[in-house]
Amino acid sequence: MTMIPFKYKKMMKNLLYLSIVLFLGSCVSQSKVKMIQEKTNKQMTTTFENSKAITYRLQSGDHLYIRVNSTDPKTSKVFQTDFPYLMNNTYQYLNTHVVDEFGYISFSFIEKLYVVGLTVPEVTAKLQQKLDEYFNDATAFVKMVNFQVGVLGEVNSPGNFTIEQDLINIFQALGLAGGITSYSNVKEVKLVRQTQTGSEVHVLDLSDNQIISSPYYYLMPNDVIYIEPRGAKSFALEQFPYQSLLYFFSLAILGYGAFVTD
């Protein structure tokens, strides 16, 4: 039988070792992408305190849907609430009142109403007070319809999402984006939040179960979540030509086995 030169055996052995290293290096530890782990709180806890207090205050450019309900036909006629009411986002958005650059909205017989810096319940109360001056049976309903959050980075379906409910937490937002990928850095998630004076950036650790008690657990309108990739992604299996790797890996095993038995 023809002897294979030692240098070729060594080359094949090195190829085998390299294939194994690349294969193992592409694997991602689940502990690094696992969220809500018991870190700060080691006890088996099922209840976390969070007041759900969302104190978003209106800014210029916000869109408010306003509807006035009344059992009095004449009052309903004034506010056109005797028309068919379509419960969908498009209808509500097209019938919104935009907060102008000076902080005012205009509504029906109320020439101007200053709302910047107020919460939606405070606007409702202020509008109701105005209505009570002119009508005996009228109830104001106010809803913010441009409640949107952005989710970017290492998620399966990044994008900007319109929120229909009044409250949404950070994990629900990630769910809208299709969830995180296997290469997400959940320990340093950035939350960008708009304020009256600018923007704030908060770094959150989603791997710690105490995130549920964080004041940033519930999102506000225009929040942006950014999940960075971990350093291991550059060596990740899904980014590597794994079909070719496995092919050469198999050849290396077969070839090395033949050399050993030679």
Torsion of CA 216, 217, 221, 222, to 10 degrees: 70
- Integer Cα distance of 53 and 206 in angstroms: 20
**Looking at the whole model, is its pTM more than 0.85?**
no
What is the pLDDT tens value at each position of the chain, 262 positions in all? 455 455 555 665 665 565 555 555 555 555 555 555 565 555 555 566 766 666 789 999 999 998 888 888 888 777 765 455 556 666 677 778 999 999 999 887 777 899 999 999 999 999 999 989 888 889 999 988 889 999 999 999 999 998 888 889 999 999 999 999 988 999 999 999 987 778 899 999 999 988 999 999 999 999 999 999 987 555 554 545 555 555 555 555 555 555 555 5
Residue of 145, 204, 136 lying closest to 170 (CA atoms): 204
In the chain, what are the domains?
Answer: 30-52+147-234 (3.10.560.10), 63-144 (3.30.1950.10)
Q: Which one-letter DSSP state was computed for residue 178?
A: T
Q: Is 1 exposed, middle or buried (0-12, 13-18, 19+ CB in 10 A)?
A: exposed
